[in-house]
Structure 1
């Protein structure tokens, strides 16, 4: 393939067309009767195979065939360097489905193009291809003819294992990354390439023990400050970091290192930039015409019309494309709550009820169910994760049981309650014990991910470390407490980049995370602690095998508000596989604190957040303690432990229980 890195892409010189009148040629019928029927039903999830730009050959002449949906346009033509970006010279032909098609000879891999759309008013707008596989580097907005058919994947073993893996019972520790600000080059370039990032991130994830990479949106987007959440290229990895081949290499390399790759995907809304989807053919095509349905007040964006079959086809195909062509292991759907509720962020009179007078967006509900059925049916072993911040029931339940069909859902309640509790001065935590204990009332109603994501460290919220109360030492101890609590509670894990370093400043998408903190005692201790947490989490079945079942969790002590102590059991699939987790949320050491345990024996201290190697004071249990036949907390046996200040310990039974 040609070098098509963002720096090397340039307008190609004009070339003479073999068809003297510069008109497009017919490329024959693109759609079978089955295609047409599926499109009409809104269930065609692979229309990227023929819509957009595809290299082809007609009458022995190589070129590119095009197909674009613009049912209300008067004319559609292909604009390129060769026709001097002049509308009408390479006109496409309309079909009964509102899809304009044609073949442009000699337009090749790497050539830039747009669609010229003449609206009914006579105004001509230049539009990027909604199905483009590659786009120019911002601020340019042209699409690029791109062929990925020669990429050779090396992840066959991974893909076979993935298909057979029950991820619900596996350790999932996601490292959430914004590729543009994880690390910056020092050679004057703005960004690293996908290939460079693959090697750096794989090495780092393996060092730190993360199992999954969760990428913030890699779809093409014009504005860096949107972080990718206002996408204009629903089939194009952003050219900021290289070509589609480069992104495929990124995923392939991660798989060869046994690292899963999930991507953020945004079917909730899209920006209104003039070159993209908004009023694509002069009418509200992808969005609702009524601003009460089609405009999002929070983000100033357009809302997809999920009731329109062509829009459903577009979105279902976008999701399937990333799973199919790039082998991604999962899709995290952003802003699901804004899709589910017609009155989301709207006041009375600013929204339109559904046909039954309710606030539920029934068309979006159907779309989400169809998306999950398609994704899990066509790609066994992948994950779909919902960022859904309300109490909508059954988000992660199967569609056949009335749910939306997601694999998992972010537990925003856990995140908010835990941060609110941790931000309190420890002297006040005694009055807020329920902030932490309440979670277990609903913990197994969904398959939850416990997220400490980018949203918690932006818009003036400060970094997680800076949100912690107390002096310098207490802030680090509190943060280690928070992470220990996250890793030992039921649910899969997600941590945003930089959290493992203990950054003092909140995330800046134009910068990089604070690598300069390496070499400082407390920051190095925190990073080592995260690595050890990941190792413990992965190695102990009790911490991940029953994450989504009440059988994997039991409270021992949750009402000692006077001491702000919590204790619970995490249990694995094997009968005698369990850990005792005890946390002290005050800066006062608790000596000889008695905890009831299920069986006698020696209990090894396998985690202590106050260990000196993490920056703590080394208060602990000298490796472990023996049980005593003293009843406590409803158990016949108990252990007496020393609880470190602002510390969490995990105790594992090591001896065989008595017969």
Structure 2
């Protein structure tokens, strides 16, 4: 473990039920190189140090076989430090942990589950997700829905059945789960994990989570999980000062303590720590068949001076601010996961101008499949929050994004981060009266789905919660009784179906040939128009956006081709809660030059609305030789 890269440490580290000389028991192994003694403590020895000793080794790993201890039994490691103090720690490699606030690890056999998702995994392996309609529904399992029978949470199995039905209804391709690695404090939402190999016991057992994954896959739904290798909490039973010394973290607080979150920072330069994290990333793909990981807080990993003032950080050996060890770790992680699990997605939450986050490692990048476009999110929300009368002065806040739109492979996130800490819900952030708030939100979603990138929306945004997200209660599902909220939910479902059914809207999300501005400078009217093209150029979708509450009755848009342009989506439709202005199913191009094009269409552009018009191009006629 201390030499070279190993991503499968979970196969022998931790607690593994087994037999030895015909006797059933459990083999324990833990890394504590600076300990004087390590014991397993449990009910059988009354949680006292000194009964079940582990054997030391030159590598710093303590291990032993303990007869009679089997699945379902709880335990911890009791460690005598160099100073003689005895501390108790949960198992870093435990496959299960007690339900918080209890903190003991649990022996669990993870080898018996029978998967039925072979067809999904085979299809995933052969899929080029860049060209597929990937739309992501971000979910916090503990507050999506809650039972009304006194229980705090639904189980993984109950959640699977409910999510499958709802996600199918809305047309999402993937769900993204906020961290499900075991964590002690509900208010961290899972972003301060203590169980890097244990799905949280809040919703059931490890096998229950496997069943959740299996059902989702059999229903054709991909599952991404949030994963947090940037930092870990200081809870006494966790990784911090694990054997009495700074083992997983740096000893120097300028390198090993995160002031923003009051957490420890991993020592990525230590081989055993890298292997621990690499093994965890691989574990979720291997053991739980997850379809990818979204890596949280990547920016804090890349820079040694992240959120620090002068004198509060230590430069790298070259004198720079880049965390070279963390960078190498991310490259190793992506290389390993993409090499061993073809078709999985790795997504970076990274908010800086770092180059090549989603470019291959062999091409100098970090190797992620995709990256969250935080610039798109910030610019779009800043613009849409403005009163429409002022938007003419900020036209480039939306158009600027296309300057860099293809530098990375982007996910376009409207995530949980935008509806917490006093920011209010997305609907409440919109300007105007209630009608305008809903119309503005429909415009924002229509823009998100029509501009290049893969859309992500946090739960509750699909039907317009009025209050910001609260992890202590379920979403306000009662709002669906009201027409405007149900209309917004119906709109999201239609957006997903249009996005999925029209290749022009997704096939070239990551290629500049799939996008073409028609006009982005009509600031006087606060309108935009652009074209999206399919890979084979058989389809073009014209997108027109009106960012004011003033309808444009005869708005002319330049197009390159003659023919009939079918109205495939109008966010102002009455079924969504709009005013129902539209184009009677579509418009025909006229030979009237506009916007540098030979033809144009004259449309009714509704107030605060997104309009999508599709034209199918005929197949090119085969020449005589090919015929």
Question: For 1:362-401, what aligned pairs fall within 5 Å after superposition?
Answer: 362-401=324-363
Deviation sequence 1:3-44 (CA, Å, 0-9, x none): xxxxxxxxxxxxxxxxxxxxxxxxxxxxxxxxx5xx412x10
Q: How far, CA to CA, are the matches of 1:316 and 1:598 in structure 2?
A: 50
Cα distance in 1, alignment partners of residues 159 and 262 from structure 2: 32
2: distance between equivalents of 1:89 and 1:114?
Answer: 13
| Match status 1:134 vs 2:96 | yes
Q: Is the 8 A contact 2:30 2:61 kept in 1?
A: yes
Cα offsets for 1:209-261 (capped at 9, x unmatched): 00001000000000000000000000000000000000000000000000000
Further displaced range: 619-628 or 215-224: 619-628
Q: Which residue of 1 aligns with 2:287?
A: 325
Contact 1:65/1:103 (8 A) holds in 2 = yes
Once residues 259 and 91 of structure 1 are traced to their aligned partners in structure 2, the CA distance between those partners, rounded to angstroms, is: 46
Partner Cα distance (2:620, 2:135) in 1: 35
Distance 1:180 1:569 in 2: 40
Match of 1:13 in 2: none
1:614 aligns with 2:576: yes
Q: Which runs of 5+ in 1 are unaligned?
A: 1-35
Tell me if 1:473 matches 2:435: yes
Q: Tell me which residue corresponds to 1:49.
A: 11
After superposition, the C-alpha distances for 1:427-463 in whole angstroms (9 at most, x for unaligned) are: 0000000100000000000000000000000000000
Instruction: Tell me, yes or no, if structure 1 residue 640 matches structure 2 residue 602.
Output: yes
Q: Partners of 1:525 and 1:102 in 2: how far apart?
A: 61
SS across alignment from 2:53: coil
Equivalent-residue separation in structure 2 for 1:368 and 1:340 (angstroms)? 9
Does residue 84 of the first structure (1) align with residue 41 of the second (2)? Answer: no
Structure 2 partner of 1:118: 80
Matches of 1:578 and 1:315, distance apart in 2: 44
The one-character-per-residue Cα deviations of 1:497-524 (angstroms, maximum 9, x if unpaired) are 0000100000000011110101101001
SS of equivalent to 1:632: coil
Task: Describe the SS at the equivalent of 1:318.
Answer: helix
* Rounded Cα–Cα distance in structure 1 between residues aligned with 2:260 and 2:57: 37
Q: Using the alignment, how far apart are the partners of 2:85 and 2:16 within structure 1?
A: 27
**Equivalent residue, structure 1, for 2:251:** 289
Counterparts of 1:339-378 in structure 2 under 5 Å?
339-378=301-340
Alignment partners' CA distance in 2, 1:499 and 1:633 = 35
Secondary structure of 1:263's counterpart equals strand
- Correspondence for 1:436: 398
Q: Aligned pair 1:40/2:16, yes or no?
A: no
Q: Are residue 107 (structure 1) and residue 69 (structure 2) matched?
A: yes
Q: 2:198 aligns with which of 224, 233, 236?
A: 236
Preserved contact between residue 538 and residue 617 of structure 2 (Cα < 8 Å): no
Provide the rounded CA distance (Å) in 2 between the counterparts of 1:214 and 1:655.
36
Determine the C-alpha separation between the residues in 2 that align with 1:172 and 1:576.
Answer: 21
Cα distance in 1 for partners of 2:605, 2:20 equals 76
1:316 aligns with 2:278: yes
Distance 2:620 2:602 in 1: 20
The C-alpha deviation readout for 1:330-386, integer Å capped at 9, x for no partner, is 000000000000000000000001111111000000000000000000101100000
TM superposition shift of 1:591 = 1.3
Structure 1 match to 2:528:
566
For structure 2, the residue ranges without an aligned partner over 5 or more in a row are 622-627
What's 2:613 paired with? Answer: 651
Contact in 1 for aligned 2:538/2:616 (Cα 8 Å): no
Superposed displacement of residue 149, structure 1? 1.2
Distance 1:467 1:411, change over 3 A: same
Deviations along 1:413-433, one digit per CA (max 9) or x if unpaired, are: 000000000000000000000
Say if 1:657 and 1:72 are closer, same or farther in 2 by CA, change over 3 A: closer
The alpha-carbon deviation at position 325 of structure 1 amounts to: 0.2
**Mapped contact 1:601–1:657 kept (Cα < 8 A):** no
Residue of structure 1 equivalent to 2:174: 212
Specify the SS of the correspondent of 2:277.
helix
Q: 1:546 aligns to what SS in structure 2?
A: coil
Partner of 2:624: none
Residues 1:559 and 1:657: Cα distance change in structure 2 (over 3 Å): farther
**Could you say which residue in structure 1 is the equivalent of 2:262?**
300
Q: CA deviation at 1:654?
A: 4.8
Aligned to 2:44, what secondary structure does the other structure show? coil
What is the CA–CA distance in structure 2 between the aligned matches of 1:594 and 1:168, rounded to whole Å?
A: 33
Give the whole-Å Cα distance in 1 for the aligned partners of 2:458 and 2:101. Answer: 28
CA distance in 2 between counterparts of 1:311 and 1:548 reads 34
Deviation of 1:59 (Å): 1.9
Q: 1:169 aligns with which of 131, 134, 152?
A: 131
Q: Could you tell me whether the CA contact under 8 Å between 1:600 and 1:658 is conserved in 2?
A: no
Residue of structure 2 in register with 1:20 after alignment: none
SS of the equivalent of 1:538 reads helix
Distance in 2, matches of 1:658 and 1:122, equals 81
Aligned to 1:3: none
Instruction: Give the deviation of 1:391 after TM superposition.
Output: 0.5
Q: What corresponds to 1:424 in structure 2?
A: 386
How far, CA to CA, are the matches of 1:58 and 1:442 in structure 2?
A: 60
Q: Is the 1:385–1:410 Cα contact (8 Å) retained in structure 2? A: yes
C-alpha distance after superposition, 1:548-579 (max 9, x if no partner): 00000000010000000000001111223110
Looking at structure 2, the residues matched to 213 and 602 of structure 1 have their Cα atoms a distance apart, in angstroms, of: 36
Q: Report the counterpart of residue 603 of structure 1 in structure 2.
A: 565
Distance of 1:210 and 1:127 partners within structure 2? 41
Could you tell me which residue of structure 1 aligns to residue 625 of structure 2? none
1:384-432 deviation digits (Å, cap 9, x = unpaired) = 0000000000000000000000000000000000000000000000000
| Counterpart pick for 2:421 among 452, 459, 484 | 459
Equivalent positions of 1:497-646 (< 5 A) are 497-646=459-608
Following superposition, the deviation at residue 148 of structure 1 comes to 1.7
Q: Contact (CA 8 Å) 1:602, 1:655: kept in 2 or not?
A: no
**Are 1:491 and 2:458 counterparts?**
no
Residue correspondences, number: 621
What does 1:189-200 correspond to in 2, within 5 Å?
189-200=151-162
8 Å Cα contact 1:409-1:447 kept in structure 2: yes
Partner of 2:296: 334
Contact 2:559–2:600 under 8 Å retained in 1: yes
Which residue in the other structure is 2:27 paired with?
A: 65
Question: Quick one: distance in 1 between partners of 2:289 and 2:414?
Answer: 26
CA RMSD of aligned residues (A): 1.0
For 2:407 and 2:141, how far apart are their aligned partners in 1?
Answer: 33
Tell me what 1:16 maps to.
Answer: none
154 and 331 in structure 1: CA distance in 2 versus 1, 3 angstrom threshold:
same
Residue 590 of structure 1 deviates from its aligned partner by 0.6
